[in-house]
Amino acid sequence: MTKRLVRLVNIASAGGVVGVLNSAPYSAAKGDIVALTRQVAVDFARNGLRVNAVSLGFTDTGMFRQDTTTESSRMQHSRHRWVGSVAVKR
């Protein structure tokens, strides 16, 4: 009998890896998903289970810009840092 390969993909967030201003509960929850993904990958790799997490960041939309430009300069700095960290710069 052929061993069946199983894949599990969790949806996390960049906020689970680096902090997001005024978003402690969100970042903590997404950080838990990242940690759980790593642990399940270690525990079940020998059984053929592949586990990954897709960590999305901000999407630079009009609503995102409006929310961050009406906030403090610290939030604006966070937005520029996030957008600057994206490989395609958009």
15-67 pLDDT, tens digit per residue, is 888 777 778 898 899 999 999 999 999 999 988 899 999 987 767 677 767 76
The count of domains in the chain is: 2
Phi-psi region of 60 (alpha: psi -120 to 50; beta: other; left: phi over 0): beta
Q: Which residues are paired to 12 by β-bridges?
A: 55
Largest Cα–Cα separation, the chain: 61
Same domain, 14 and 50: yes
> Which has the closest alpha carbon to 56: 24, 21, 26?
26
Q: Give me the catalytic one of 26, 28, 39, 81.
A: 26
Residue 4: the pLDDT is: 73
Taking the model in full, what pTM does it have? 0.63
**26 catalytic per annotation:** yes
Same domain, 52 and 68: no
Same domain, 65 and 43: no
Same domain, 65 and 46: no
Tell me which residue range forms the domain holding 64. 59-90
Same domain, 53 and 63: no
Q: What is the mean pLDDT of residues 64-79?
A: 63
